[in-house]
Amino acid sequence: MTDNAETSYDVLIVGGGPAGQAAALELAAVGARCAVIDEQARPGGQILRQPPVSFAAQNWVDENSYRPLRQQLRVFENQAAIAWLGRRSVIGLQPGPQGHSLTTSGADGLQELSAAHVLIAAGCYDMPYPAPGWTLPGAMGAGAMQTLLKAQGIVTGEPIVFAGTHPLMLLIAAQISRAGGKVAEVAFDRSLATIGKSMIRHCATALRNGSLLGEAGKAMMDLRRAGVPVRFGRPLQEITGADRVTGAVFGEADHPETTPCGSIGLCYGFLPQSDLPRQAGLSVRWSSPSGGWATCHDQWMQSSVEGVWVAGETTGVAGAPIARDEGRIAGLGIAAALGLITNRDATRRAAPFRQSRKAAMRFAAMLDDIAAPKQALDRVAASNTTICRCEKVSASAVRETLGSTTDVNAVKRITRCGMGLCQGRNCEHMLIRMSAAAEGRGLETMKGFTGRFPARPVSIADLLEKPLP
Amino acid sequence: MSKRIGFVEPPAPIHIELDGEVVEAYEGESVAALLVLHRDGMSRRDRDGDARGLWCNMGTCSECFVRLLEHGRSRRVRACLLEATDGMRIATGSHTQDD
């Protein structure tokens, strides 16, 4: 990849993670001019978030499961035909001179880029789980702790508690423990019996994916060796502290148990990034069971808007191997649409990626079943916790308003829930769940906030500035 | 307390100013990482005076906005996407309330 100052390309790819890289490599191989835009300085996405170039990192994400992704990243970085546009947020997608145009925002202000095709491979983010006390410094998404470790070599306040429903927290806790961080406890919301039932339901898949399960088993063993308790059926009740996190309260209200800690990582699942697709009017669907909006697509990963394609977690959170397969399929689909390869060629070359995607989907469905956050979310919906962090709106204030209207855009205007700097990324999923419950409707029938420009916060000064002709 | 661990070997240290206090940092390190190291992850106080912390470390939650003071301007930026450079001046909202 090379830094590049062009403003017009055949293909613009939003996101330099496994999906975006895979698509760019397919496209570069057939001579398409493509650029990859990312908020980070270096490619990798969140899963392979890289330390600054000036850091010499040893044993950086050296677990086996990362190996194919690391290899792809190396090839991507060495492919000179791909333009790398890092340190930029994409804030808008609209019709442009060549088909589509993207507005980006960076340290030097805004820039317009245009292309015949745009691929959105924007990834996902930690579900903002509104446990009472989650706004305290030291309470964060488990993924935030992992990226602080991977990309910055930093362990958050010790000892660390992990709480949630998603098994990924086992791997994160083990990574932190192996790196020399002190973990106090890993607490699964659901009982081992419930998780066991999910595994039995998917037992054929579990057997076929022995190596992935083995990784979770190894994490458990490493944690046990380090003396870290892994507990099940242990719902988080509250995060305590005055100016920062000092404890995590578990158990039932009548006999609470507190684990003292310096920080807590919450891991209840992941939501697809959906701001840009929704701002551009792409069709989306509610993503069960974790929630959020997955962008709809056809078999070549093209969205409901011609020339706009999607791949990876943007289409529903299913893990990096699937993201990579989808990136390859989208890359081949775009190459065919550009006339660089025949449809027949694209079909033939995409076949193995479709095959591996299908197999990996079964594992993703098992993980979804194990990690289902509904019970944990129902608990906080009934509490008095702050669900909108930016405007500090409580679940109880939202419940009160839901008595008069269940339209989420109306609730937003009345309570200010979702009106802050995060643009609803933190609270919308909770509001939708609460609204659906109040109305007795299925989540898949719900409508979310109206997507608007800009898809990321940008200063008004930057919006007003115009380049000289 | 947060700490640095040994798997990365950072280059020679630089210095940035965090709320008027000079702290050691490394070129390219994120300002969010420095908030974790020096402020327990605290980025601001909300309108009730409650301490607030960064949540996602990936540009999504908008909780880590700080002010970058440069060229006679004060610019609001997400600390998790801001790389430290020598002499950089940062003001968090830890001592003042939301504006």
Q: Does domain A2-125+271-341 have CATH number 3.50.50.60?
A: yes
Greater pLDDT, B9 or A354: A354
Greater pLDDT, A56 or A131: A131
pLDDT of A469 higher than 70: no
Interface test with A, best of B39, B47, B58 (most A CBs within 10 A): B58
pLDDT in tens, A421-439: 999 999 999 999 999 999 9
Q: Does domain A384-445 have CATH number 3.40.50.300?
A: no
Cβ distance B51 to A137 less than 8 Å, yes or no, reads yes
Residues A73 and A166: their CA atoms lie apart, in Å, by 26
What per-residue confidence (pLDDT) applies to A226? 97
Name the band, by pLDDT with cuts 50, 70 and 90, for residue A209. confident
Chain A residues with CB inside 8 Å of B59's CB?
Answer: 39, 89, 456
What per-residue confidence (pLDDT) applies to A465? 85
Average pLDDT of the residues in B43-64? 96
Q: Spell out the domain ranges in chain B.
A: 14-49+60-97
Residues A186 and A357: their CA atoms lie apart, in Å, by 31
CATH number listed for the domain at residues A128-268:
3.50.50.60
What's at A95, amino acid-wise?
A: P
Domain A2-125+271-341 identical in fold to domain A384-445: no
What per-residue confidence (pLDDT) applies to B65? 96
pLDDT in tens, A342-359: 999 999 999 999 999 999
Name the band, by pLDDT with cuts 50, 70 and 90, for residue A200. confident
pLDDT in tens, A20-33: 999 999 999 999 99
Q: State the residue for tokens 């909770």.
A: A430
What tokens appear for A265 in the block?
């990582």
pLDDT in tens, A385-425: 999 999 999 999 999 999 999 999 999 999 999 999 999 99
pLDDT of A64 higher than 60: yes
The nearest CA of chain B is from the CA of A181 a distance in Å of 8
A358's CB contacts (< 8 A; 6+ apart) are: none
Cross-chain CB nearest to A425 (options B30, B37, B60): B60
Binding-face residues of A in 409-468 toward B, CB within 8 A: 420-423, 425-426, 456-457, 459
pLDDT in tens, A83-98: 999 999 999 999 998 9
Name the band, by pLDDT with cuts 50, 70 and 90, for residue A254. confident
pLDDT of B10 higher than 80: no
A372's CB contacts (< 8 A; 6+ apart) are: A165, A190, A289
Sort residue A67 into left (φ over 0), alpha (ψ -120 to 50) or beta. Answer: alpha
Cβ distance B61 to A87 less than 8 Å, yes or no, reads no
pLDDT of A122 higher than 70: yes
What per-residue confidence (pLDDT) applies to A139? 98
Tell me the pLDDT of chain A averaged across its residues: 95
Average pLDDT of the residues in A232-250? 97
Across the A:B interface, residue pairs with CB atoms under 8 Å apart total 180
Residues A271 and A293: their CA atoms lie apart, in Å, by 7
The answer to whether A126 faces chain B, any CB pair under 8 Å, is: yes
B1's CB contacts (< 8 A; 6+ apart) are: A157, A158, A262
Residues A314 and A123: their CA atoms lie apart, in Å, by 5
User: Which residue of chain B is at minimal alpha-carbon distance from A461?
Assistant: B75
Cα separation values, A357 from A311, A327, A360, Å: 12, 11, 5
Poorest-confidence range of A58-72, A354-368, A448-462, B12-26?
A58-72
Residues A111 and A105: their CA atoms lie apart, in Å, by 7
Chain B residues with CB inside 8 Å of A52's CB?
Answer: 26-29, 83
Interface test with B, best of A152, A317, A416 (most B CBs within 10 A): A152
Greater pLDDT, A274 or B10: A274
Cβ distance A126 to B4 less than 8 Å, yes or no, reads no
Binding-face residues of A in 24-53 toward B, CB within 8 A: 39-41, 46, 51-53
Which long-range CB contacts under 8 A does A398-407 form with residues at least 24 apart? A398/A430, A398/A431, A398/A434, A399/A434, A399/A438, A402/A434, A402/A435, A402/A438, A403/A438, A406/A435, A406/A438, A406/A439, A407/A435
Q: Spell out the domain ranges in chain A.
A: 2-125+271-341, 128-268, 384-445
Using an 8 Å Cβ cutoff, are A312 and A125 in contact? Answer: no
Would you identify the CATH topology of the domain B14-49+60-97? Ubiquitin-like (UB roll) (3.10.20)
Average pLDDT of the residues in A183-209? 89
Cβ distance A144 to B54 less than 8 Å, yes or no, reads yes
What per-residue confidence (pLDDT) applies to A216? 87
Cβ distance B57 to A143 less than 8 Å, yes or no, reads yes
What per-residue confidence (pLDDT) applies to B97? 55
Q: Cis before residue A289, ω within 30 degrees of 0? A: yes
Furthest CA-CA distance within chain A: 69
Average pLDDT of the residues in B55-84? 95
User: Which residue of chain A is at minimal alpha-carbon distance from B6?
Assistant: A153
SS3 of chain A? CEECCCCEEEEEEECCCHHHHHHHHHHHHCCCCEEEECCCCCCCCCCCCCCCCCCEECCCCCCHHHHHHHHHHHHHHHCCCCEEECCCEEEEEEEECCEEEEEEEECCEEEEEEEEEEEECCCEEECCCCCCCCCCCCEEEHHHHHHHHHHHCEECCCCEEEEECCCHHHHHHHHHHHCCCCEEEEEECCCHHHHHHHHHHCHHHHHHCHHHHHHHHHHHHHHHHCCCCEECCCCEEEEECCCCCCEEEECCCCCCEEEECCEEEEECCEEECCHHHHHCCCCEEECCCCCCEEECCCCCCECCCCCEEECHHHHCCCCHHHHHHHHHHHHHHHHHHCCCCCHHHHHHHHHHHHHHHHHHHHHHHHHHHHHCCHHHHHHHHCCCCEEECCCCEEHHHHHHHHCCCCCHHHHHHHHCCCCCCCCCCCCHHHHHHHHHHHHCCCHHHCCCCCCCCCCCCCCHHHHHCCCCC
pLDDT of B7 higher than 80: no
Please compute Rg for chain B using Cα positions.
13
Residues A467 and A412: their CA atoms lie apart, in Å, by 35
A151 φ, ψ (degrees, to nearest 5): -100, -15
Chain A residues with CB inside 8 Å of B53's CB?
Answer: 135-140, 244
